[in-house]
Structure 1
């Protein structure tokens, strides 16, 4: 009975996660907020005239090349933002689940996808367009993934983990320098505690 219940709950988790993901992707091509979103899109489309910003944020330089790759299509850019949010949330959840529990690979994947759907709360203000808030959130996820990988045995895991911490820290600085300073303190504290 418990095996049947577990399979039903896993299937339900997979269906609801896929439904939420499809719903977010389907609404990626609707709406435009001229206030904040206009600034985000202008900065992403051509960040070079805005090299000095108040408040200091250089997220447009990070998102400029993906914007060019999608040909300036805002809907595809939003879909990429949603997909990246869900993917980073899934990877982080998978690493935490595999570290704390002894579950099978399939169960860990389904559970991590279900938990990762909570990462979509970062997009809950209805703004799916990439901006400095989402870049800061993605950066924090990347740094956390890197710290979890750096703590695993094996040289490749450690090297990849510290590379991700560096990339995440750089992206965090490009999003919000104050957040980068805070995450630097967290990384230092985690290294001291883990060692």
Structure 2
């Protein structure tokens, strides 16, 4: 049973790794409480990014959503909810180039994707929400994966490799949450037991 989960996709810019845990975060629900009445920026344009912005808007003074395009991948409902929040502001057609700060985050350098112009945005925290990468490289030659690297498996966890079952965030599925990962684990145990029993192992 393979259940290695996913890793947060990194921006890959200067200052990100050095300031992770010191103002750079990948989990708004985990770290929002550290930013009461402060200014934060969320990087991304999907459901996670907009959801993070809404979580942060209830605690932080000002929330910036920075997105490289002028349209969002997030659901219309989330976008509308974010637009209705008085303290959420959008910076579109912009990408982060550097996260600045000595011992903690102080600002982020943004580049306009149209003009190339750069600007510095003061922020106490940077929340990165640009997707996840499944930890499935080890299975590259064992089981079939989709174009984004997730193991193709059904609800029983069955993969293209006989005897290999995939559970949790590593497999193709609609919803990735703790409760669905736990259900996957239970299904995989039952499937693996049935597979072993059928072969009298």
TM-score normalised by L of structure 2: 0.24
Name the structure where strand makes up a greater proportion of residues: 2
Name the structure where helix makes up a greater proportion of residues: 1
TM-score normalised by L of structure 1: 0.24
Higher RCO (Cα < 8 Å, 6 or more apart): 2
Give the structure with higher Rg (CA). 2
